[in-house]
Amino acid sequence: MSHQITVQPSGRQFAAEPDETLLEAALRQGLTMPYGCKDGACGACKGKVVEGSVDHGKSQAHALSDADKAAGLTLYCCATAKSDLVIECKQMSSANDFPIKILPARIEKLERLAPDVIDMHLRLPGSEQFQFLAGQYIDFLLKDGKRRSYSLANAPRSDGIIELHIRLVPGGLFTEQVFNSLKVRDILRFEGPQGGFFLRQDSKKPVVLLAGGTGFAPLKAIVEKAIADQSERPLHIYWGAKARADLYMHALPEKWAAEHPHIKYVPVLSEPAADDAWNGRTGFVHQAVVTDFPDLSGYQVYACGSPVMIDAARRDFIEKCALPEEEFFADAFTFATN
């Protein structure tokens, strides 16, 4: 027996079967809400159950704490309905028209951008059209049904190439292959596009783009799309990394800022090496935003990085800088080794 799910404040409704998560049910019926990993790890889909009861499923403690549960929160990618529900989701909208496909792709290029970051280019089949929104991600389909998710690091292109920035995870099932055994012309399979991380075009508000490490990848795609569209919407890019080498495409956002008056770029290092000769900003990257924008009430923020960075940015931007909660969009990276 299905349950009816009513979403506040939009009033949208959809049905959820007993064996599907709230996110799966919404996507199946053409509705989308913020989500990232779909595995209970990143917390991007956390929301409130106003009425009714849910089974929290496989949610992980760091993404959904006991205090969260006591406050009526759940992860929509894990929760299943045990009754009719009223839930809160300020960012629900109709899903885009781009179908999710399973496709093969040939490795076109493998370029080392940093000691632990590879830029992978994939060429899609000429007979297939793959449409996506800048900022979305794909799932690589591995043996034994395992998946690995990576953000698309380029805006849609006409030449059938997609780009990904892959960081080495020691012992990682997939990343060890990328760094040690995969080669140009090898074939990989993926499913996509996935995710609700993309620039909302229905707003003209200035934007803060916050990246940690390879979280720069989807923000690169978003900026490329904005430039291609000749948008003059102000974009403030903050890219945080540990040391100078981790800003693996530092010259690119510098170039954007030099060529486009509405684009600003602030790199921030948390632990610059002695030989970095770094004269720029230091500390936590989201704190640099707090310092520069004590009032974010008129902004949108798009943040991509570790769950710790995302949680800290969400909390401080909303509590300290008056950012409206519904104007914070996030994609949290999680890493798996098996």
User: What is the reported pLDDT for 305?
Assistant: 94
Most distant CA atoms of the chain, gap in Å? 64
Can you tell me the distance from the alpha carbon of 194 to that of 43, in angstroms, rounded to the nearest whole number? Answer: 16
Higher-confidence residue of 332 and 234: namely: 234
Tell me: do 124 and 22 sit in the same domain.
no
Q: Is the pLDDT of residue 13 over 60?
A: yes
Is residue 35 one of the residues assigned to a domain?
yes
Lowest model confidence (mean pLDDT) among 28-32, 75-79, 148-152:
28-32
Q: Which domain holds residue 248?
A: 207-332
Domain endpoint, select from 45, 70, 94: 94
Mean pLDDT to the nearest integer, 37-63:
87
Is residue 200 one of the residues assigned to a domain?
no
Q: Is the pLDDT of residue 109 over 90?
A: yes
User: What is the reported pLDDT for 61?
Assistant: 84
- pLDDT digits over 282-292, tens only? 999 999 999 99
Confidence category of residue 35, pLDDT binned at 50, 70, 90: confident
Query: Do the beta carbons of residue 244 and residue 274 sit within 8 Å?
Result: no
The residue among 175, 196, 2, 207 whose CA lies nearest residue 84 is: 2
CATH number, domain of 276, equals: 3.40.50.80
User: What is the reported pLDDT for 215?
Assistant: 96
What is the residue type of 54?
V
Say how many domains are in the chain: 3
Instruction: Report the SS3 class of residue 16.
Output: strand
Instruction: Kindly state the tokens that stand for 21.
Output: 């998560």
Q: Is the pLDDT of residue 29 over 90?
A: no
Q: Which 8-state DSSP code applies to residue 291?
A: H
- pLDDT digits over 231-277, tens only? 999 999 999 999 999 999 999 999 999 999 999 999 999 999 989 99
- pLDDT digits over 291-300, tens only? 999 999 999 9
Q: Is the dihedral of CA 314, 202, 228, 257 positive or negative?
A: negative
User: What is the reported pLDDT for 217?
Assistant: 98
Can you tell me the distance from the alpha carbon of 36 to that of 274, in angstroms, rounded to the nearest whole number? Answer: 36
Q: Which 8-state DSSP code applies to residue 223?
A: H
Give me the residues paired with residue 239 across strands.
211, 267
Mean pLDDT of the chain: 92
Can you tell me the distance from the alpha carbon of 204 to that of 207, in angstroms, rounded to the nearest whole number? Answer: 9
Q: Is the pLDDT of residue 316 over 60?
A: yes
Confidence category of residue 36, pLDDT binned at 50, 70, 90: confident
Tell me: do 215 and 301 sit in the same domain.
yes
The β-bridge relationship of strands 281-282 and 13-16 is unpaired
User: What is the reported pLDDT for 75?
Assistant: 94
Query: Do the beta carbons of residue 55 and residue 45 sit within 8 Å?
Result: no
Lowest model confidence (mean pLDDT) among 24-38, 75-89, 146-160, 187-201:
24-38
Is residue 243 one of the residues assigned to a domain?
yes
Lowest model confidence (mean pLDDT) among 98-102, 174-178, 318-322, 326-330:
98-102
Tell me: do 69 and 115 sit in the same domain.
no
Instruction: Kindly state the tokens that stand for 312.
Output: 């800290």
Confidence category of residue 94, pLDDT binned at 50, 70, 90: low
Domain endpoint, select from 167, 194, 221: 194
User: What is the reported pLDDT for 212?
Assistant: 97
Mean pLDDT to the nearest integer, 216-237:
97
Tell me: do 9 and 63 sit in the same domain.
yes
Query: Do the beta carbons of residue 148 and residue 142 sit within 8 Å?
Result: yes
- Residue 306, Cβ neighbours under 10 Å: how many? 17
User: What is the reported pLDDT for 336?
Assistant: 57
CA 185 and chain centroid, separation: 28
User: What is the reported pLDDT for 335?
Assistant: 59
Tell me: do 105 and 72 sit in the same domain.
no
Tell me: do 215 and 290 sit in the same domain.
yes
User: What is the reported pLDDT for 54?
Assistant: 96
Confidence category of residue 92, pLDDT binned at 50, 70, 90: low
Which backbone phi and psi does 74 adopt, to 5 degrees?
-150, 170
Which backbone phi and psi does 246 adopt, to 5 degrees?
-75, -15
Domain endpoint, select from 161, 194, 227: 194
Which backbone phi and psi does 336 adopt, to 5 degrees?
-125, 145
What proportions of the chain, in percent to the nearest 5, are helix, strand and coil? 25, 35, 45
Mean pLDDT to the nearest integer, 173-191:
96
Mean pLDDT to the nearest integer, 314-337:
87
CATH number, domain of 135, equals: 2.40.30.10
Confidence category of residue 33, pLDDT binned at 50, 70, 90: confident
